Each structure stands twice: as C-alpha cells, then as structure tokens.
Amino acid sequence: MLNQIPSPSVIVDLNIVDKNIQNMSEIAKKAGIKHRPHIKTHKSVYFANKQKQAGAVGITCAKLGEAEVMAEAGFDDILVAFPIIGEEKLERLYQLAQKIKVSTCIDSIEVAQGISEVGLKLGQPIPVYIEVEGGNLRCGRQPGEDTVNFAQQVKRLQGVEIIGILTYAGQIYNEKNIDDIRRVAKEEADNLKNTVELLRESGIFVREISAGSSISSKFASELKGVTEIRAGNYIFHDVSQLSTGMASIDECALRVIATVVSTPSPGRAIIDAGSKTLTTDTAQFRKGYGYIIEYPEIEIYKLNEEHGFLRFDPSIQLSVGQRLTIIPNHACVVANLTDEYIGVRGDQIVEVIPVEARGKNK
C-alpha cells in the first residue's frame, strides 16, 4: 500500500504512463511521423522498452553515458542529441559505433571534424544531424543560409554523413495560450522546412527532419514536413506542462511522496523533500517548487537540501506525520535524483523500477 512507502519517495503511476505512451504513439502515427523518444526524462530501461513496444523507431539520449547504458540493454538505434567533443568522448563514440547504429548532432566544424575522425577510424561514416537553432537560444546554426554554408563545409569531411537536421524550440514552454502554442509548433516546422529547401537547392539532400518537444508533438498535425519527433517529458508530465494547460493532473504520472516533519507556526510547515528530491527548477506560470495535489493552494516556496518550506493560509491545518503528494516542476531532473521509481497501479505497489542511467551525464 502507498501509505507504507518511506518518504521521500518517487512514485510512478503505471496506468497513467501506459496512457501517455499510447496517446503520443497514436498522435505520431496519425500524422505519419516517426517517434524517437528522449529517454533523459526517465533514464530507465524499463520505460524505454515500453516506448519501443509502442512503436518508437529508436531512442534519443542526452549524453553518451545514457546511450552506453541503453546500448548495453539492447537498444541498437540511438541518437545522442548533444555535441560530442574531446578525445575521451570520441573514443567512447567509436566503441559505441562498433556495436550499434549511433548518430549524433553537430553545429560546429570542430565537433564535425572530431566525429569525422571517428568515422574514418570505424571505416564507415557516422550519421549526423545538423542542429538548427530553434528560437531557444541554445545550440544550433541559424536557420537558412548559415545552416546551408555549414553543411557545405561538413560535406567535405569523409567520416560523416549528413542525414538530417534537428531543432528544439524550447521557448514553447513560455506560451500559455493554446493558439500561441500551436503557432510556435508550426513555426518550428516551418523554419526547418525552409532550411531543407535551401539545402536541397544547394545539392544537399537530407532524409530526416527532427523536431518536436513534448508540447509541440501534441500538435503533430502542424509539424508539416517533419519526419521525426523526439518527445520525452510526455511520459510523465509535470508542473511545466500542467501550468500551460497542456496536461491535467490525471496525466501526471511521476509524483513525490513527502511527509510533514514540522509545523513551526500557523501557515508554515516543513516537509522531508528538499532539493535532493524535488528540483529547484521553476515553472513559468506557477510559484514555488511543485504542485501539492491534496492542497493546490499551498506553496512550496523554498528548498534546502533535505527540507521543503511550505506557506499557506493559517486556516489550513497540517499535522506532523501527514503525507503529501507532489507533482514536481520538472520530472526530468527528479529522474536524475533517484535510484528507483516505485511503480504503482491505483493504491497498489506493483514493482520497483531501477533508474539505470541516473548520473550518466558525461
């Protein structure tokens, strides 16, 4: 039973996970788009296998460490969606590429040259996506001519094969209005489509156009021209999606069970879940560090390492020993803070699920 779980613990409602995976699979299939889910959200072989069973064409990893864990578990088509640079990482890429089909992304000639050397050593080119900046001011070449000019440079390298372009329009999480979210999703696809046309005019043909966060992927019908989405957070959802209106409480699978350990004064309480359990990431449209299901009006206003600080109207009565259920602001960070998930169906504990890629951030 749930009341027997020691706190703080991270639980995952497997009934919700099953629905979330199935819903995204159906959205992608209906739009005729492949799904290569991003496993950095859960970092778990168990959940990656569930996504594969639902039709995923492969998986996306944030770092080589994650990819190594997943390859060891039998996944043989992995995109490492992060620049790989440095002798140690290039050697690990070489070792990985000897075992499975591995691709990666590039946005600089320095990274491209390193990947090319791996391909030459391997005796076959490494498939690469050129990352295009999607408006989030993160990695990526600028859409249009800048990407084309860069692609022409990369084309001269023998150890790489340009198979596609890739983007991430993370700014979509700043939009609260559904129409604006839909607009950003369309802009994400349009930027890629226009760049692909320029690439083809210059003689460079790409077969993969990769986009789609967990939010924009829900509007897959707007992603005209996109061949592949890389949704990750959708499997759990969190306050970041809850606060945009793109997920409901009933769609939030990952939750933290915490206990009230002190009630020092009216309107204040301390729980046993701090920054080592929850995340210090904030959500765009909600104050605090999580959503307490039993008391949505209570704010988790501060986190120490082991303490969560609550404030609320003094008319609310919390007692020491009381259990609270929290949807975190960002589920992906919580996954990297726990060794295991407690898998539940309803009020029943059904299995303990290891987080094998926890801490594999190199």
Residue type, 326: I
Q: What is the pLDDT of residue 48?
A: 98
If one counts the domains in the chain, the total is: 2
Q: ω into residue 125 within 30 of 0, thus cis? A: no
Q: Tens digit of pLDDT for each residue in 230-260?
A: 999 999 999 999 988 889 999 999 999 999 9
Residues 226 and 299 in one domain: no
> Which secondary-structure segment (H or E) carries 47?
helix 45-53
Q: Is residue 359 part of a domain?
A: no
| 106 & 255 share domain | no
In a domain, 140, yes or no: yes
Q: Please tell me whether residues 254 and 204 are part of one structural domain.
A: no
> What separation in angstroms does the CA of 344 have from each of 36, 87, 353?
26, 43, 10
Say whether both 218 and 331 belong to one domain: no
Q: What is the pLDDT of residue 172?
A: 79
Secondary structure (3-state) at 176 = coil
**Over the range 14-26, which residues count as b (16 or more CB within 10 Å of their CB) and which as e?**
bebbeebbeebbe
pLDDT at 181: 85
Same domain as 131, residue 62: yes
Residues 107 and 186 in one domain: yes
Contact 287, 329 (CB under 8 A): no
- d(Cα 89, Cα 152) in Å, to the nearest integer? 25
Q: 136 with 172: CB under 8 angstroms?
A: no
Pairwise CA distance, residues 139 & 108, whole Å:
10
For 232-290, give the DSSP string: -GGGT--HHHHTTTSS-GGG--EEEEEEEEEEEETTEEEES--TTTS----BTTB-SS-
**What is the model's pLDDT at position 134?**
84
| Distance, CA of 208 to CA of 159 (rounded, Å) | 19
Residue 173: the pLDDT is 82
The predicted structure's pLDDT at residue 186: 85
Residue 107's CB is within 10 A of a number of other CB atoms, namely 22
241 inside domain: no
Residues 266 and 339 in one domain: yes
- Domain-located, residue 47: yes
273 lies in the same domain as 321: yes
The predicted pLDDT at position 107 comes to 97
Domain CATH for 348: 2.40.37.20
Q: What is the pLDDT of residue 259?
A: 98
User: Of 236, 263, 292, which marks where a domain is finished?
Assistant: 236
pLDDT < 70 positions in the chain: none
Half-sphere exposure of 164 (CA within 13 A, CB side): 18
Does 285 lie in the same domain as 165?
no
> What's the CA gap between 209 and 186, in Å, rounded?
14
| Cα–Cα distance for residue pair 344/352, rounded to 1 Å | 9
Q: Are both 63 and 209 inside the same structural domain?
A: yes
Record the tokens describing residue 16, joined without a space: 């919700």
Q: Give the span between the Cα atoms of 334 and 215, in whole angstroms.
A: 19
Predicted local confidence at residue 245, as pLDDT = 87
CATH number at 102 reads: 3.20.20.10
* Domain end point (choices 188, 217, 236): 236
Q: To which residue do tokens 């919700």 refer?
A: 16
Q: Report yes or no on 362 lying in a domain.
A: no
Q: Name, in order, each residue with C-beta under 8 angstroms of 158's C-beta and a sequence gap of 6 or more.
A: 116, 119, 120, 125
Long-range contacts of 116-120 (CB under 8 A, 24+ apart): 116/157, 116/158, 116/159, 116/160, 117/90, 117/159, 118/90, 118/93, 118/94, 118/159, 119/158, 119/159, 119/160, 119/161, 120/158, 120/159
Range of the domain at 255: 2-8+246-354
Residue 224, in any domain of the structure: yes
pLDDT of residue 174: 82
Backbone angles phi, psi at 236, to 5 degrees: -110, -40
Please report the pLDDT score of residue 188 as a whole number: 85
Whole-prediction pTM: 0.95
Q: Does residue 165 lie in a domain region?
A: yes
Q: What is the pLDDT of residue 215?
A: 87
pLDDT, tens digit, 9 for 90 and up, residues 25-53: 999 999 999 999 999 999 999 999 999 99
Are 153 and 270 in the same domain?
no
Boundary (domain end) residue, out of 236, 267, 298: 236
One domain, residues 225 and 260: no
Q: Look at residue 303 and tell me if it is in a domain.
A: yes
